[in-house]
A = this chain, B = another copy of it.
Amino acid sequence: MLATLIYGERDIRVEEVPDPRLSTGADAVVRVVAACVCGSDLWPYRGVVPTEEPHRIGHEFVGIVESVGDDVERIHPGDFVIAPFYVCDGTCVNCRNGVSTSCLQGTFWGVDDKVGGFADGGQGEFIRVPLADGTLFALDGQPDAELIPSLLALSDVMGTGHHAAVSAGVGPGSTVAVVGDGAVGLCAIIAAKRLGATTIIAMSRHADRQALAREFGATEIVEERGDEGVARIKELTGGIGADQVLECVGTKESMDQALRSTRPGGMVGYVGVPNGGPKLPIRPMFGRNVGVNGGVAPVRGYMAELLPDVLSGAINPGLVFDLELPLSEAAEAYAAMDERRATKVLLRP
C-alpha cells in the first residue's frame, strides 16, 4: 500500500510500504477514507523536532473497517469509523476517568505498539489499529459524503477545541477569547458557542480565518497582539478580561497572551502542544487567581457528544479544511500548510 513518510526537514514522500496485518486478536485493519495533516506534523516538517531516520507520519483519519481480530467485539468489518489521534483501550482507570490520552495500554500512531507490532501512521491507504474496541468510534451506517470532512475533524481538531473549552469551564453566558486561528482555534470557537458562550473574541490577523471565525460564532475579532491585544480584550470585557481564554497555539507568547487576557478568577484552557516547553509564570497567576487547565485532548471520549451535532449540521468543523489533495500529493499538503497557503489539508487515498 501507499503511505506517507517523513525523511527530514521539508522532505515528505509517499511510498509503497507493506500492507498491515492483524496480529493480536484485539486489532483491526481499516481502509482509510480520508486523512489529514496536523499542525503538530509541521514541527518535524520544519525541523523544529529533528527526524533521526525516515518514519511514517500522520495521526488523523476516518475509514471503513476491513477486518478485525478474533477478540474484537464492538467493531465489525464494514463499519465506518473515526479514529482519535491515539490508541486507547477504553477500559483502564484513566480511560474511565475521561483521560483516554493517558490510557495505561495506550500508544500513538506510527510506532510499535506494546504487544502487536507496527500501528502505521494515519496518512496511508490502510492502517492497523491496535485495541480496536477502545480506539475506534463506529457510526451507525454509512455517512453522507459531504459529512466526511466534519467527521474527520472529530479525530483531532474539533475534539481538541472542545477540550480547551471544557477544560476552561466555558458555559452559558461565558465571555471567551480564543488565542490562535488555526484549525484548533477555529474549532474552539465552535465549541465555545456550542457550550453557550455569548461573547466570543477571536484573535486573528488573517481575513479568511476571520471570516470563518465569524461563521463559527465569533462575535468580535482582535488583530492586535501583546500589550495591545490584552488592552483590546479588556476593552471588550468591561475592563477585566475574558472569563475563559482558549490557548490553541502552544508558544510562550501565546500562553502569555492567554494568561494576561483572562480576568481575575478566570481560567485558561490550553491545548496548543507546548513548543519548546514554555514555563508558566506562577506569580501573576497566583495574584489574579487565573488557573490553567487542559492538555493533550482525550478526543475519543468527546465523539459521542459531538457526533449528533455534526450529523444534524448544527456544527460544521469540516470547513477548516480549505484544501483537498490526493494522498499521492501529501508533500504538497505539507508545503501548503507550512507556507500558510492552507489552514488544514484533507488527503484522500
Residues of A within 8 A of B (CB): 93-94, 97-99, 101-102, 167, 238-240, 255, 263-265, 267, 270, 273-274, 277-283, 285-296, 298
CB pair B289 A278 closer than 8 Å = no
Instruction: Select A287's contact among B263, B270, B292, B296, beta carbons within 8 Å.
Output: B296
Given A167-B291, A292-B293, also A102-B286 (CB < 8 A): no
Q: Is B294 a contact of A291 with CB atoms below 8 Å?
A: yes
Closest residue of chain B to A292, judged by CB?
B292
Within 8 Å by CB of A240, from B94, B282, B287, lies B94
Please name all residues of chain B whose beta carbon is closer than 8 Å to the beta carbon of A287 when the two chains form the complex.
102, 295-296
Q: Which 6 pairs, one residue from A and one from B, show the smallest C-beta to C-beta distance?
A: A291-B293, A102-B264, A99-B265, A279-B279, A289-B295, A280-B280
CB A312 to nearest CB in B, in angstroms, measures 29
Q: Which of B101, B273, B278, B295 contacts A290 (CB 8 A)?
A: B295
Instruction: Work out how many copies of this chain go into the complex.
Output: 2
Residues of B within 8 A of A285 (CB): 292, 295
A-B contact pairs, 15 of them (CB 8 A): A93-B238, A93-B239, A94-B263, A99-B265, A102-B264, A167-B289, A167-B291, A255-B282, A277-B281, A277-B283, A279-B280, A280-B280, A286-B295, A289-B296, A292-B292
> Closest CB of chain B to A320's CB: distance in Å?
22
Give min CB distance, A242 to chain B, whole Å: 12
Closest to A243 in B: B97
Which of A102, A264, A285: most chain B Cβ within 10 A?
A264
A92 nearest in chain B by CB position? B240
Q: How far is B97's CA from A288's CA once the two chains are assembled, in angstroms?
A: 12
Known A255-B282, A277-B282; further 8 A-B contacts with Cβ < 8 A? A97-B263, A99-B264, A102-B288, A279-B280, A280-B292, A285-B295, A286-B295, A287-B296
Partner of A279, one of B97, B102, B281: B281
Cα A99 to Cα B167 with chains together (Å): 20
Q: How far is the CB of A92 from chain B (nearest CB, A)?
A: 9
Residues of B within 8 A of A293 (CB): 267, 291-293
Q: Which of A94, A97, A273, A286 has the most CB of B within 10 A?
A: A286
Contacts of A263 in B (CB 8 A): 94, 97
Known A99-B265, A265-B102; judge A274-B278 contact (CB<8 A).
no
A97, A293, A294 — which one has the most chain B CB atoms within 10 A of its CB?
A293
Q: How far is the CB of A253 from chain B (nearest CB, A)?
A: 14
**Given A93-B240, A277-B282: A98 touches B265 (CB 8 Å cut-off):** yes
Q: How far is the CA of A42 from the CA of B97 in the complex (A)?
A: 40
In the complex, are the beta carbons of B291 and A282 less than 8 A apart?
A: no
A167 to B264, CA, bound (A): 13
Within the complex, the shortest CB–CB distance from A258 to chain B, in Å, comes to 12
Partner of A97, one of B264, B283, B295: B264
Task: Tell me the nearest residue of chain B to A295, going by C-beta.
Answer: B289
B289 touches A294 (CB 8 A): yes
| A270 and B238 alpha carbons, distance in the complex (Å) | 28
